[in-house]
A and B are shown apart, each in its own frame.
Chain A
């Protein structure tokens, strides 16, 4: 079965420290991978995506993610966390064949950056 896993419900990190939010996937074919962020009482906002090419993808607000095909992972990273990064983060994958496609989202990881 195709799936996306975010193994940590919550990640706590001190402000200024590097952060990692983990995501692994299981899909057939080449995956299209995404990270979204959700702030309280808001819809999801796109952060970055991997389609093809360089395994290190850079996105909004200083975030980046590393695609690792052998480990089927797409971890979100940031070198120096800010308190304002505290939010709910979702990993997602686009799946499907020609003519149809759907999205699978992970269960979300709540990031808390402590001052």
Chain B
């Protein structure tokens, strides 16, 4: 089954404790992206990657890191999480860098930072 998977689905952590949210897709997609969803703000793009070893900032990159060492994986790293990073996070992928392609979304990761 074609899908985007994220782990963990739920995470409660404390301020300053480094964490990684994994994202993997099995569709051989070139483009991958991370978003955060907050009430009243919709989805905001954190980082995106157009291919292996090619990443760039979205609109809200502060406090996050990403890497794209393999085509299928695009982990999101929070080096020192803070309470304002409490949010619902989505990973997405699309076929290519052509911006006409729709995105496929993972099920989401709900992160709480205390």
Contact = CB atoms under 8 A, between A and B. Distances in A.
By CB atoms of chain A within 10 A, which of B43, B44, B50 has the most? Answer: B43
Taking residues whose C-beta sits less than 8 angstroms from the other chain, chain A's interface range is 20 to 34
B102 A49 contact: yes
Q: Chain A interface secondary structure, helix, strand, loop or mixed?
A: strand
Contact of A43 (B50, B59, B97, B107): B107
Contact of B56 (A6, A32, A100, A105): A100
B109 to A, nearest CB: 10
Given A102-B45, A107-B41, A43 B102 contact: no
Given A43-B106, A49-B102, A105 B97 contact: no
B105 interface: yes
A103 B45 contact: yes
A44 B105 contact: yes
Contacts of B58: 102
A95 B33 CA distance: 14
A66 to B, nearest CB: 18
Given A102-B45, A105-B43, A107-B42, A43 B108 contact: yes
Contacts of A34: 102-103
B103 A96 contact: no
B33 A46 contact: no
B102 A46 contact: yes
Interface in B45-64: 45, 48, 50, 56, 58-59
A52 to B, nearest CB: 8
A90 B105 contact: no
Contacts of B4: 43
Interface in B100-114: 100, 102-108
Nearest to A98: B97
Interface of A: 6, 32, 34, 36, 41-46, 49, 51, 90, 92, 94-96, 99-108
